[in-house]
Amino acid sequence: MGEPVLLVQRAGDVATIVLNRPAVRNALDRALAQALTTTARELARDERLRAVVLRGSPPAFCAGADLRERIALSPEERTAHTETIAAAVEALAEIPVPTIAVISGACLAGGAELALACDLRFADTTARFGFPEVRRGIFPGAGGMLRLPQLVGPSRAADLLFSGRIIDAEEALRIGLIDRLCEPGRLDSLIDAWLGELRQAAPTAVRTAKAALRRALTCDAVTLADIRALRRALDHSPEYEEGLRAFAERRAPNWVSG
């Protein structure tokens, strides 16, 4: 049957979720997104946990949605595919203990939205970040439009979201997209040191502080619904069709001005 698309590793009061599709840089197909949703919800109910770590099997964190799967879908199925990824992102965001995205290699599109849903982001210098969806005719559909400007500010978010450009780990640290940066091979030590600090805090106080912070940062549900409605419309657009064809044919999209 092959390797499972998602692994869960336990070490005492810490759970590590590993995205495990390394051959496609851990791209999010429906099976992986559904497994992540189920796992995140299960971990959310575990009162023994102090923290959850999310990482990808080398060589990447997550390259985003699996466009090879999406190419074959109808517009309605593409919307459902996006909603499946959005459900995984939200399930990760709702885990009541601190969550840390541990990032090496590509952290792009839906993968970057997973990282944004975590409380903290630790990366090594191989990490690359971006929201290239506009270069395929869409925009981030799993909460990134809300979370990115909260994290880096509206202007820097606009820079990344409107251009689709990819940035390196040093720039990501400078603009506040990540919280810690280290050389390759040092991430585990960085995480262990932070978890040591966390364990000095009262577990219930940390859970309650996270709930309070989430409430303070959560945008109005109507706003989120409006953003999702705008994103769904793009699943039916000629530009998205062209973006997917260009991806499949390994060429630049041929955008026609409206």
Residue 251 in any domain: the answer is no
pLDDT digits (tens, 9 = 90+) for 72-113: 888 888 888 889 999 999 999 999 999 999 999 999 999 999
Looking at the structure of the chain, the number of domains it has is: 1
pLDDT digits (tens, 9 = 90+) for 208-257: 888 888 877 775 555 667 777 777 777 778 877 888 888 888 888 886 65
133 is catalytic: yes
The catalytic position among 123, 130, 133, 144 is 133
65 is catalytic: yes
Residue 258 in any domain: the answer is no
Lookup result for tokens 């919307």 = 79
Report the CATH number at residue 96.
3.90.226.10
Range of the domain at 14: 6-198
Residue 37 in any domain: the answer is yes
The catalytic position among 56, 64, 110, 111 is 110
Residue 110 in any domain: the answer is yes
47 is catalytic: no
Residue 26 in any domain: the answer is yes
Residue 143 gets the label, from left (phi > 0), alpha (psi -120 to 50) or beta, of: left
The catalytic position among 113, 127, 142, 243 is 113
Residue 223 in any domain: the answer is no
Full-model pTM: 0.88
Q: What percent of the chain has pLDDT over 70?
A: 94
- In the predicted model, what is the mean pLDDT of the chain? 90
The catalytic position among 60, 63, 65, 86 is 65
Q: Which residues contact 188 (CB under 8 A, 6 or more apart)?
A: none
113 is catalytic: yes
